[in-house]
Amino acid sequence: MTDHQPLSETPPHAVGFETRDVSIRGILALAGAVLASVLIVVAGLWWMWTRFEMQAARSETKPTFTRDEQPRTTSPHLQETPVRDYVLYRAEQDAAASTYGWVDRNNGVVRLPVDRAMELYLERGAPPSWPNETKPEEPAP
């Protein structure tokens, strides 16, 4: 009363696995096609490379400088001493922030040391935001 048939009587598609072997001829044909494609691409690249080299050799001009002359370079001009340049820059900035000096002598604009500017700010308050604006009056207590 079981529905199971003996293995010898079951059709091949109902067994649950492949009953035929893999086609070696198909695998070898695919491998040959891939190998042939790779060889064609490599040969094409080699042909292009040699053609471009010959073309570049024909059109290239030879350098005409002597041993004493240096060839021109297109490399970027970099700082030779960046650390020293930065130290000098910082010294200039520190000197400007800690000394008195004229910014615009004709208009009477001066540069103050930072400490003195903070003292004046605390004494006088903030300067007007516009030149024509006056200091707002403080409300009466």
Q: Does residue 101 contact residue 107 with C-beta atoms inside 8 Å?
A: no
Question: How do 101-104 and 109-111 pair as beta strands?
Answer: antiparallel
pLDDT tens for each residue of 60-119:
666 565 666 666 677 777 888 999 999 999 999 999 899 999 888 998 888 999 899 889
pLDDT at residue 133 in the model = 58
pLDDT > 70 in the chain, percent: 68
Check pLDDT > 60 for residue 7.
Answer: no
Lowest-pLDDT choice from 22-31, 36-45, 57-66: 57-66
Task: Calculate mean pLDDT across residues 35-41.
Answer: 98
- Positive/negative CA dihedral, 50, 53, 59, 65: negative
Backbone φ and ψ of 37, nearest 5°: -65, -45
pLDDT > 90 in the chain, percent: 31
Averaged pLDDT score across all residues of the chain: 80
pLDDT at residue 10 in the model = 58
Cβ atoms within 10 A of the Cβ of 78, count? 6
DSSP bridge partners of 110: 102
Residues with Cβ within 8 Å of 100's Cβ and at least 6 positions away in sequence, in order, are 110, 111, 112, 113
Lowest-pLDDT choice from 26-30, 33-37, 63-67: 63-67
pLDDT at residue 42 in the model = 98
Lowest-pLDDT choice from 28-37, 48-57, 84-93: 48-57
pLDDT at residue 23 in the model = 84
The C-alpha atoms of residue 37 and residue 40 are separated, in whole angstroms, by 5
Q: Tell me the whole-structure pTM to 2 decimals.
A: 0.34
